[in-house]
Chain A
């Protein structure tokens, strides 16, 4: 009797594979599971997980599968740790050999994944990406005292929003803007913010918003996504998003996840806020501060200056009124004094004039008195009258004229006898 597999008793394919399988199972089967570290080159998932895994140098490839009974709880554990098994992931998994006889394929069935290792691997890759992007200037190092508010546009009223409408993050962000007293003009570019398609959609949305539509250009573009597991947020560690943010001609702000989540996308902007709500609040604050600087404060200054001018004018008017009254009273007093003086001068001049006249009259009177005929008569002179006429010359008389001769003590009638 020949041995199976001999020339005389060759194996059938099935038989050979049975032998291979049997021998492999004896050393690499369920009871002899081995740990393998490999990179996922291809992934297909439909309840069960199907992977093509390779060495990093691509020198060898192996098909691996994980039955849904194992995969679903394992997937949940990985997601909780923020790990996604996807093309490019490097994972260390426990598996046993599996021969797919129908195709003659050698594969393995995964029974476990080293979460810690996967986490470290993912973080290592993330750190490598961060280092590379930092070296290229895509990521801008920020100091401890970095304040994202300082890098917002002065008046960010036209807002491009990259988000998934209806999600919590979307609503939180928009709620801040709509609850504010300011008229934000928001244009939304819808993008999936979770999963494998998210990076490409976020990049497309960023570019579409940055391009504007001719009549509308955003002041800022906000990329927001509410809180979630590390895996949910891991799409924002994608290199494509970071590069798109860095290259965007419009300032980009991010509000991804919640406190403590810092994605690579956050690192690519100086305007990273901790949540969508905080991002909305930052925009509202920026507009409020702009309004304070350009509207409220100038109005306050104007009011203050106006009040000062009014107060100064009031003081000036009061002072002027006082001066007016003082001046008026002074003028009145001066005028009154002047009138009193005029009255005195008038009176004085009048009296003086009267005095002068009286003096004149008295002296005249004296003068006249000195020439009074009665006085002459007293001295022995006589007054001769012919009728009413005083005779002062002999020639005025002719013999026979009857004249009246007046002496101091009386008169006599006489007749002219002869003119000599």
Chain B
């Protein structure tokens, strides 16, 4: 899994890639590079999100038992 840094940094980079690809001046050579990087960031963030969700769901029953 590629290193994407802090969540907010990664999201900012992802937003920049999407904005670029949405824009009028897309270079085909860069398209692949940007697409690959964007996919990489999304994969990394989804993976991180998945791990976070698992941790939250692990903590949630403990919270319920404290009530």
Q: Which residues of A contact B (CB under 8 A)?
A: 314, 317-318, 321-322, 324-325, 328-329, 332, 335-336, 338-339, 342-343, 345-346, 349-350, 353-354, 356-357
Could you tell me which residues of chain B, from 1 to 59, have a CB within 8 Å of some CB in chain A? 11, 14-15, 17-18, 21-22, 26, 28, 31, 35, 38-39, 42, 45-46, 49, 52-53, 56, 59
Chain B residues positioned under 8 Å from A349 (CB to CB): 18, 21-22, 26
Chain A residues positioned under 8 Å from B35 (CB to CB): 346, 350
Chain A residues positioned under 8 Å from B59 (CB to CB): 325
Instruction: Tell me the nearest residue of chain A to B45, going by C-beta.
Output: A339
**28 contacting pairs across A/B (C-beta < 8 A):** A314-B66, A318-B63, A318-B66, A318-B67, A324-B63, A325-B56, A328-B56, A329-B53, A335-B45, A335-B49, A336-B46, A336-B49, A339-B42, A339-B46, A342-B14, A342-B18, A342-B38, A343-B39, A345-B22, A346-B21, A346-B35, A346-B42, A349-B18, A349-B21, A350-B21, A350-B35, A353-B28, A354-B31
Instruction: Tell me the nearest residue of chain B to A343, going by C-beta.
Output: B42
Q: Which residues of B contact A (CB under 8 A)?
A: 11, 14-15, 17-18, 21-22, 26, 28, 31, 35, 38-39, 42, 45-46, 49, 52-53, 56, 59-60, 63, 66-67
- B28 smallest CB distance to A (angstroms): 6
Chain A residues positioned under 8 Å from B31 (CB to CB): 350, 353-354
Interface of A is mostly: helix
- Among B49, B59, B63, find the residue whose CB has the most chain A CB atoms closer than 10 A: B63
Query: 8 shortest A-B CB distances, which residue pairs?
Result: A349-B21, A321-B63, A346-B38, A353-B26, A328-B56, A350-B35, A345-B18, A325-B60
Q: Is the CB of B53 within 8 A of A332?
A: yes
- B32 smallest CB distance to A (angstroms): 9
Chain A residues positioned under 8 Å from B46 (CB to CB): 336, 339
- B15 smallest CB distance to A (angstroms): 8
Chain A residues positioned under 8 Å from B67 (CB to CB): 318, 322
Cα(A357)–Cα(B67), bound, Å: 60
Chain A residues positioned under 8 Å from B26 (CB to CB): 349, 353, 356
Cα(A339)–Cα(B52), bound, Å: 15
- A356 smallest CB distance to B (angstroms): 8
Chain A residues positioned under 8 Å from B21 (CB to CB): 345-346, 349-350, 353
Cα(A4)–Cα(B21), bound, Å: 172
Cα(A353)–Cα(B18), bound, Å: 12
Instruction: Tell me the nearest residue of chain B to A361, going by C-beta.
Output: B28
Chain A residues positioned under 8 Å from B66 (CB to CB): 314, 317-318, 321
- A337 smallest CB distance to B (angstroms): 10
Cα(A186)–Cα(B40), bound, Å: 90
Cα(A342)–Cα(B39), bound, Å: 9
Identify B63's interface contact among A322, A336, A339, A346, CB under 8 A.
A322
Q: Is the CB of A346 within 8 A of B49?
A: no
Q: Is the CB of A357 within 8 A of B28?
A: yes
Chain A residues positioned under 8 Å from B53 (CB to CB): 329, 332
Cα(A325)–Cα(B59), bound, Å: 8
Identify B39's interface contact among A332, A338, A346, A357, CB under 8 A.
A346
Chain A residues positioned under 8 Å from B49 (CB to CB): 332, 335-336, 339
Chain B residues positioned under 8 Å from A356 (CB to CB): 26
Instruction: Tell me the nearest residue of chain B to A357, going by C-beta.
Output: B28
Cα(A350)–Cα(B42), bound, Å: 15
Chain B residues positioned under 8 Å from A314 (CB to CB): 66
Cα(A321)–Cα(B52), bound, Å: 16
Instruction: Tell me the nearest residue of chain A to B31, going by C-beta.
Output: A353
Cα(A335)–Cα(B11), bound, Å: 10
Instruction: Tell me the nearest residue of chain B to A341, going by C-beta.
Output: B18
Cα(A356)–Cα(B28), bound, Å: 10
Cα(A325)–Cα(B31), bound, Å: 39
Instruction: Tell me the nearest residue of chain B to A324, going by C-beta.
Output: B63
Cα(A371)–Cα(B67), bound, Å: 80
- A51 smallest CB distance to B (angstroms): 94
- A363 smallest CB distance to B (angstroms): 15
Q: Is the CB of B39 within 8 A of A329?
A: no
Q: A339-B42, A339-B46 are in contact. Are A329 and B63 (CB under 8 A)?
A: no
Instruction: Tell me the nearest residue of chain A to B46, going by C-beta.
Output: A339
Cα(A321)–Cα(B66), bound, Å: 9
Q: Is the CB of B18 within 8 A of A346?
A: yes
Q: A342-B38, A353-B26 are in contact. Are A328 and B52 (CB under 8 A)?
A: yes
Cα(A335)–Cα(B14), bound, Å: 13
Chain B residues positioned under 8 Å from A346 (CB to CB): 14, 17-18, 21, 35, 38-39, 42
